[in-house]
Amino acid sequence: MPDTLPDALAEELQALLGDAAEVGADEAARKAATKDFSWVSPIIHGSIPRTLPDAVVTVRSVDAVRALARFAHERGIPLTARGKGTSNYGQIIPLARGIMVDFHELAGDIALDDGVVTALPGTTWHDLFAFLEGTGREPAMFPTTLNSTVAGYVGGGAGGPGSIEHGFNHEGFVQSLTLVPVTADAEPVEVRFPETTPHVHAFGTTGLIVRVGLRTVPALERTAVFASVPDLDAGAAMALEILRFRPAPQILAVTEPELAALFPEDPGFEPGRTNLRAVVDVDQADAVREIVERGGGRVTGVRPDAVRYLATFINNHTTVRAKAKRPELYHVLVRGNAILGKRALIADAFADATVQLEGIRGPEGPCLMARILAPHRDDALVHAGMDRLRAEGLAVDSPHSWVVHEDMPPRWAAADRFDPLGLLNPGKLPRDRRAAEQEPRAEDHGPSTLSPC
């Protein structure tokens, strides 16, 4: 028997929302709306439950979001929020039937006031940067994928260029959020930092974001420095010196030759050599050169026009680039300088691994983390490798789960306030402590917000 629910629901929703939204119920549109970049993890890609939503609603106004929230609350219909679908952890893949709420057309209305830039949720980072051009300000941090949306990054992201200096999303970068609760009145509520924290990296489970306020900082004139260095340990020693710069580098990475060979050809990448890349204040380029040459390396390029380009060779963007040539690869993260000098341990834990070190900020200041890439052969081997590193006392982050798992009490409180019926992205936020404890392999649930050095 054909499923008539999507067509009937779509007709009702279109009548309710009118020109303030576009409602789709054809199977192709519903399938397309559930795809994200979670193929970065072969474990998520192969095991996440996938449920086709009954309708996709592309909202164009805050009033449409409110009407949709009231409708969902009255009918008990699940809602899953989507930006541009660049998330890596299956955040937007619905686990329950219901309505996919697409925010990418609810964009613009950008303003800058007292160092905080605010925008509608579907605003892309390209547009945010364009707005800030000439103001003397820049976002304190930003994602590596600039066509992603501001609310998508807040809801699903953790760090990016600028995190070495300014920390992670939840650490004061998100200064304000306006959220529509899924309640009978759906009255928008503005929260300000630190009350924003439970809503950051919450996968859209604690309210529908309709406005975002982000911290900006004075814009700097930067340049990109490429260098060829002897090996990973030598590059790590150089990176630790560069991390002491003030201002700190916006981007810093050291990549082994096997991984760098998977990147697009560029004169800054010397084949067969470990590559170091830094985005620094233009006045610091000579200091980087001195550090590199003293450590036995050589600078292969100093290019102001490559600053944004280098953002696409860190964070999960690194894995996306590598998988373009080797789809079987996956990654895990080890945060903190404790991983340095333990290349043999990495090889023991993950067969045929290659490594990139990246600058981050921990509780005690800038430090490094290791991005370990290896070919996926078996899910159990991935977990065993992470367990092997944890047994050595290392802080391992797994990108192989789709469940929110950290700082749960404030997230539960936020969900109780903004989603009392549990209709937002059901299954992604365990609703009580007992449910959280029953989640399998809780230690593997996604990127940590803690970054020990």
Structure confidence at residue 446 (pLDDT): 42
Write out pLDDT tens, residues 47-60: 898 899 999 999 99
Structure confidence at residue 38 (pLDDT): 87
Q: Where do the domains of the chain lie?
A: 222-397
Work out whether the CA dihedral 303, 247, 193, 200 comes out positive or negative. Answer: positive
Judge contact between 225 and 177, C-beta under 8 A: no
Structure confidence at residue 3 (pLDDT): 63
Q: Which two tokens stand for residue 230?
A: 């002897």
Write out pLDDT tens, residues 80-107: 999 988 888 888 899 999 999 999 999 9
Q: Classify domain 222-397 by CATH number.
A: 3.40.462.40
Cβ atoms within 10 Å, residue 411: 25
Q: Which two tokens stand for residue 191?
A: 């929260």
Q: What is the largest CA-CA distance in the chain?
A: 73
pLDDT per residue as tens, the chain (453 positions): 346 577 889 999 999 999 999 999 889 989 988 888 888 999 999 889 889 999 999 999 999 999 999 999 999 999 999 998 888 888 889 999 999 999 999 999 999 999 999 999 999 999 999 999 999 999 999 999 999 999 999 999 889 999 999 999 889 999 999 999 999 999 999 999 999 999 999 999 999 999 999 999 999 999 999 999 999 999 999 999 999 999 999 999 999 999 999 999 999 999 999 999 999 999 999 999 999 999 999 999 999 999 999 999 999 999 999 999 999 999 999 999 999 999 999 999 999 999 999 999 988 889 999 999 999 999 999 999 999 999 999 999 988 988 998 889 999 999 999 999 999 999 999 876 545 444 444 345 444 444 455
Strand partners, 397: 333
Nearest 5°: CA angle at 54, between 48 and 57?
Answer: 105
**Cis omega (within 30 of 0) for bond into 194:** yes
| Nearest-angstrom CA–CA distance, 40 and 76 | 33
Nearest 5°: CA angle at 281, between 276 and 284?
Answer: 70
User: Shortest CA distance to 102 belongs to which of 120, 77, 122, 88?
Assistant: 122
Q: Which two tokens stand for residue 275?
A: 């590559």
User: Shortest CA distance to 187 belongs to which of 16, 59, 70?
Assistant: 70
Structure confidence at residue 255 (pLDDT): 98
Cβ atoms within 10 Å, residue 387: 14
Q: How far is CA 183 from CA 81, 149, 188, 409, 413, in A?
A: 16, 25, 10, 21, 15
Cβ atoms within 10 Å, residue 101: 27
β pairing state of 208-218 and 137-139: antiparallel
| Nearest-angstrom CA–CA distance, 107 and 391 | 46
| Nearest-angstrom CA–CA distance, 318 and 310 | 10
Structure confidence at residue 214 (pLDDT): 98
